[in-house]
Amino acid sequence: MFFFPTKVKPTFLGQIKSSGGHEGPSGITVSLETESGQATETITQEGGIFYFTDAVKPQAATLSASHSRFSISKAIQIALGPENILAYAPVVTGYQLTGRVEENGLPMAGVSVDLVTQTGDLSDSVITGEDGNFIFNEVPAGIFVVKAFFEKDGAVFSIEPASQNIAVSNNDNNLGSAFRITGLTASGLVQTKSGSGLPDVEIFIDGIKSGKTDDKGEFMLVNVKPGVHEILAQKEDYDFVAVNVDINSNNPNIQAIRNVE
């Protein structure tokens, strides 16, 4: 059923719907151009309802719709007749879906974000910009799962939440909360004074034993929270000085640690 102001008598009215749906969004510009050259436009209301109030004589016409963020099907040719309800109109084929990825409250660029259907199929994949934001365009109405992934210089990053579900509908669609980098795999090297790799060195991060060097003197710390951490190496008969390291996405590798006199 169509609703419009009681003091306004529409000449023609119709509805812009989502593809496969029964209603559409408000705010869509709908344009009508007749074969005689008369042009008029209006804006959809709630549910995608639109109507024209300009006097238009029955004739052939072109009906089109546009929106800055929604994808809409092509203009259609219609025949304006004595009935004032338009049986056909363009449809919304896709919407925008937006979100954000952060690290310590700051925008995180270069993160891969996947849009997955309920059946597990990959629908689209994008990369976050310098502002940490990402945008999926032309997303049809429906339920999707959004996942974020990030790797750099061999470091694997932990991201929370692991995924977010969203029902894309007849509106602006933004994920309720940002994805956050909560941890990463940091790597480092412990050397002797001469620069040789030193094996079997225990590695402490903020006072907690978290790893041990291998035969090459290399070590790896798993799921380290981004931020400044105290790194201390310990091995019998060797002396090391604790170092403070800012471990983050731009600095996942710890500078070589050498024993002192």
**What's the CATH code of the domain at 189?**
2.60.40.1120
Which of 36, 68, 89 finishes a domain? 89
Does residue 3 lie in a domain region? no
What pLDDT is stored for residue 215 in this prediction?
95
Specify the number of domains making up the chain: 3
**CB of 244 within 8 A of CB of 230?**
yes
Does residue 1 lie in a domain region? no
What pLDDT is stored for residue 219 in this prediction?
95
Does residue 216 lie in a domain region? yes
Which positions ≥6 away from 243 have C-beta within 8 Å?
Answer: 230, 231, 232, 255, 257
3-state secondary structure at position 21: coil
124 and 173 inside one domain: yes
What residue type is 117 in one-letter code?
A: T
165 and 198 inside one domain: no
Q: Give residue 131's domain range.
A: 94-182
Does residue 6 lie in a domain region? no
177 and 100 inside one domain: yes
113 and 64 inside one domain: no
Measured between alpha carbons, how far is 25 from 17 in angstroms, rounded to an integer? 7
**How big is the chain by its Cα radius of gyration, in Å?**
30
- The rounded Cα 122 to chain-centroid distance in angstroms is 14
Does residue 146 lie in a domain region? yes
Does residue 166 lie in a domain region? yes
What pLDDT is stored for residue 81 in this prediction?
84
Which of 54, 71, 89 finishes a domain? 89
Considering the entire predicted model, what is its pTM?
A: 0.76
**What's the CATH code of the domain at 59?**
2.60.40.10
What pLDDT is stored for residue 176 in this prediction?
85
17 and 78 inside one domain: yes
Does residue 16 lie in a domain region? yes
pLDDT of the chain, 261 residues: tens digit per residue: 455 454 556 688 999 999 988 999 999 999 999 999 999 999 999 999 999 988 788 899 999 999 999 999 999 999 998 888 899 999 999 999 999 999 989 999 999 999 999 999 999 999 999 999 999 999 998 999 999 999 887 778 899 999 999 999 887 799 989 999 999 888 999 999 888 999 999 999 999 999 999 999 999 998 898 899 999 999 999 999 999 999 888 888 888 999 886
3-state secondary structure at position 182: strand
Which of 89, 124, 146 finishes a domain? 89
105 and 167 inside one domain: yes
Measured between alpha carbons, how far is 234 from 236 in angstroms, rounded to an integer? 7
**CB of 113 within 8 A of CB of 128?**
yes
Does residue 7 lie in a domain region? no
189 and 178 inside one domain: no
